[in-house]
Amino acid sequence: MSQDLILKPTGEGAIAWSVVDRRAGTRLHEGRLASGDSLPDDVADAVDRTLVLLPGEFLHVTRLAIPAKSEHQARQAAPFLLEDELASRLAETTILPGPRSDDGHRWVVAVATDLLEGWREALAPIIVRPAFIVPDSLVAAEAGAALTLYDRGDAILFAHDADAEEPASPLAGVMDTALFGSVVQALVKAAGSGEIAVSRSLGLTGANFRAIGQGGIDLRASAMAAGRLEALPRLFGDSFASAMDWSALVRPLRRPFLMAAGLLLAFCLLIGGETIYYRVQAERFETATLAEFNHAMPEVGRAVIPAEAERLLRARVERLTGDGQSAFLQLVSALDELTDGNDRIRIDHLRFDPARSALSVGATWSDFSDFDDLNARAEQLGLRLEDGGARESSAGIEGEFVMRLP
Asked if 344 and 382 sit in the same domain, the reply is: yes
Q: Which residues contact 392 (CB under 8 A, 6 or more apart)?
A: 398
Q: Which one has a higher pLDDT value, 138 or 13?
A: 138
Asked if 157 and 267 sit in the same domain, the reply is: no
Q: Is residue 250 part of a domain?
A: no
For 391, the domain range is 321-404
Where does the pLDDT of residue 135 fall: very low under 50, low under 70, confident under 90, or very high at 90 and above?
A: very high
Asked if 151 and 88 sit in the same domain, the reply is: yes
- Which one of 244, 267, 286 terminates a domain? 244
The CA-CA-CA angle for residues 23, 27, 28, to 5°, reads 100
Q: Which one has a higher pLDDT value, 323 or 393?
A: 393
Asked if 140 and 238 sit in the same domain, the reply is: yes
| Integer Cα distance of 150 and 187 in angstroms | 13
| Residue 55: predicted pLDDT | 94
| Residue 249: predicted pLDDT | 52
Q: Is residue 269 part of a domain?
A: yes
Residues above pLDDT 90, as percent of the chain: 37
Q: Is the pLDDT of residue 294 over 70?
A: yes
Asked if 366 and 388 sit in the same domain, the reply is: yes
The CA-CA-CA angle for residues 358, 364, 365, to 5°, reads 110
Identify which of 176, 198, 339 has the alpha carbon closest to the alpha carbon of residue 331: 339
For the segment 358-395, what is each residue's pLDDT rounded down to a tens digit? 889 999 988 888 888 888 888 888 888 888 888 888 88
CATH number at residue 398: 3.30.1360.100
Where does the pLDDT of residue 122 fall: very low under 50, low under 70, confident under 90, or very high at 90 and above?
A: very high
- Which one of 185, 215, 244 terminates a domain? 244
- Which one of 215, 244, 273 terminates a domain? 244
Where does the pLDDT of residue 30 fall: very low under 50, low under 70, confident under 90, or very high at 90 and above?
A: very high
What is the CB-side half-sphere exposure of residue 139 using CA atoms within 13 A? 26
| Integer Cα distance of 245 and 345 in angstroms | 100
Q: Helix and strand tally (H, E) in the chain?
A: 11, 19
Q: Which residues contact 312 (CB under 8 A, 6 or more apart)?
A: 293, 297, 300, 304
Q: Is residue 101 part of a domain?
A: yes
Asked if 190 and 73 sit in the same domain, the reply is: yes
| Integer Cα distance of 362 and 287 in angstroms | 40
Asked if 79 and 186 sit in the same domain, the reply is: yes
Where does the pLDDT of residue 324 fall: very low under 50, low under 70, confident under 90, or very high at 90 and above?
A: very low
Asked if 236 and 363 sit in the same domain, the reply is: no
Asked if 289 and 391 sit in the same domain, the reply is: no
Q: Is residue 367 part of a domain?
A: yes
Q: Which one has a higher pLDDT value, 104 or 309?
A: 104
DSSP string covering 82-144, please? HGGG-SS-GGGEEEEE----TTSEEEEEEEEHHHHHHHHHHHGGGPPSSEEEEEHHHHTPPTT
| Residue 108: predicted pLDDT | 95
Where does the pLDDT of residue 158 fall: very low under 50, low under 70, confident under 90, or very high at 90 and above?
A: very high
DSSP string covering 166-235, please? S--SSSEEEE-HHHHHHHHHHHHHHHTTS-EEEEGGG----TTEEEE--S-HHHHHHTS-HHHHHTS--T
Average pLDDT over residues 281-292: 83
CATH number at residue 139: 3.30.420.380
| Integer Cα distance of 393 and 243 in angstroms | 113
Q: Is residue 249 part of a domain?
A: no
Asked if 227 and 294 sit in the same domain, the reply is: no
Asked if 134 and 197 sit in the same domain, the reply is: yes
| Integer Cα distance of 18 and 213 in angstroms | 19
| Integer Cα distance of 7 and 129 in angstroms | 13
The domain total for the chain is 3
Return mean pLDDT, the chain.
86
